[in-house]
Structure 1
Amino acid sequence: MAESFGADAALYDRARPRYPDALIGAVASSAPGPEVLDVGCGTGIAARQLQAAGCRVLGVEIDERMAAYARTTGVEVEVSPFETWNPAGRTFDALIAGMTWHWIDPATGPAKAAAVLRPGGRFAVFWYVLQPPADLGRAFADIYREVLPDSPISSPVAASPLGAYETFLDRAAEGLTATGAFTDLDRPTFPWSRDYTRDEWLDQLRTSGLAKPLADAGKLDTILARTAAAIDAVGGEFTLDSTAVALVATRR
């Protein structure tokens, strides 16, 4: 699934939310220098935000299609799984991963991060949590429950997903702790908001990790149509008041 997002890289880049300015600023200001490694950089969304904050960013990306798009936006990218990527002796002031660290091997990834970070370097992995208004979130969850009753995404978590991301944070923290190479582990959160039209939300859904399994099950078009109807029922647009969650640490 990690290699499925590049099917329409331009749509992905257009539809995916940007990260909160406060999160980007916290990463840039806490690193001891400007050299940042972006693991699973995708189309370069976080990388470009960090560049605008004064960082020099190198991306590592498994999908050549995503990497090719990122290069067109001014991001330097090397194509490789992070676990087998060759840093060629290079080290960095910060390592980030936006919406991607859950794809990384939980043992190999933290050890590799420790190897490429300079002493005092910052580790920062983060996810944005899409939290629709409560009534709309319940409507979305009902749609999944009716269309895919046996799927984990049909659980009540779909209506209030913040708790599900604790699993990602817990696993990342366990991996860092096991290396013995990191200190000052923390889990800051960053609120963010965005107004969505129906079509903007559907584009976001088309680029989500759910899109491929839904398409493979022959259910994507049904989910999109039902979701469109639910948004139309509340006026065709809504405000997403959400949270970005992070795990940050310092290389000893």
Structure 2
Amino acid sequence: MPTLPREQPESSPAQPHDVRRMAESFGVDAQRYDQARPGYPDTLISRIVAASPGPDVLDVGCGTGIAARQFQAAGRTVLGIEPDARMADFARARGLRVEVATFEAWQPAGRTFDAVVAAQSWHWVDPVAGVVKAARVLRPGGLLAIFGHAYEPPVEVAEPFAAAYRLAAPGSPLNGQPARRPLDFYQAGYAKFADKIRETGQFNAPEQWQFDWEQSYTRDQWLDLLPTTGGLTQLRPDQLVRILDAVGSAIDSLGGRFTMNYTTLATTAVRATAS
């Protein structure tokens, strides 16, 4: 499938953090989003916890709380920031404290944290203002961790998706994207995050982390996940049906299931202590 904006770490011609309508479209079916979207590798969560000087975590763009619940399970105290009130309500119903705001507009009111994390959400944040604000709310020695999944289904699934998307939504700017993208495309996006962090002069040298894993999907599981991706959340029902029918047929031809190879990438940096 084409890499849709929710999974896309780099800036496209329309800067993702400026595309507020799409950024706040994922709450259209928060329950589906929460059930279908994959969590994050336990090794990533453990590494962030180990690198943080204390238990207080700020989750930027927390969505329904997928990553936040993993941090809570690891013994952390989490506050979520989420611009979509529907997603925030879903997360609150599952025990997460959430304040509704964009990260840029959110008022910390003097609060500081041991870690600021952004799970598949940092590309919706202004790349300059976001890093400056993260530095402002992090305690010295605190960790900024920006992470997300790079995933491309097999070509047998990706190509029918791209063809069906072109037919169903011919005016979409996403139609210029290739059906699949190499890992170094995603890595370049996370390298750009690191560049913005360096430019502030308020962090130690950023690190790049990588976690490879895989997950098997049945036809129904994948078709449940697809409508939660950025390019599909705003389509008309008839457009969505055409795309899902094409992808479903492609998965049927593979025996009704396929294995997704995931890579979870992270850019992390420690807030510099005062000299």
TM-score normalized with structure 2 length: 0.85
Counterpart of 2:240 in structure 1 is 220
Which stretch of structure 1 is more off in the superposition, 117-126 or 155-164? 155-164
Runs (4 or more) in structure 1 with deviation over 4 Å come to 145-152
8 Å Cα contact 2:113/2:139 also seen in 1: yes
Counterpart of 1:229 in structure 2 is 249
When the two chains are superposed, the root-mean-square deviation of aligned CA atoms in Å is 2.0
CA–CA separation in structure 1 for the residues paired with 2:161 and 2:181: 10
Q: How does 1:89-168 map to 2 (within 5 A)?
A: 89-145=110-166, 147=168, 153-154=174-175, 157-160=178-181, 162-168=183-189
Matched, 1:247 2:267: yes
One-letter amino acid of the structure 2 residue matched with residue 24 of structure 1: I
Residues 155-177 of structure 1: CA deviation (Å, up to 9, x unaligned): 56432353442353133222212
CA–CA separation in structure 2 for the residues paired with 1:153 and 1:230: 21
Matched, 1:5 2:22: no
CA–CA separation in structure 2 for the residues paired with 1:66 and 1:161: 31
Counterpart of 2:64 in structure 1 is 43
Q: How does 1:187-226 map to 2 (within 5 A)?
A: 187-213=208-234, 215=235, 219-226=239-246
TM-score normalized with structure 1 length: 0.92
SS at match of 1:211: coil
Matched, 1:16 2:4: no
**Residues 157/27 of structure 1: CA separation in 2 closer, same or farther (3 Å cut):** farther
8 Å Cα contact 1:197/1:238 also seen in 2: yes
SS at match of 1:222: helix
How far is 1:217 from its partner? 9.8
One-letter amino acid of the structure 1 residue matched with residue 52 of structure 2: A
Identity %: 50
Return the structure number with greater relative CO, CA threshold 8 A, min gap 6: 2
The runs of 5 or more residues in structure 1 that have no matched partner are none
Counterpart of 2:11 in structure 1 is none
Matched, 1:170 2:161: no
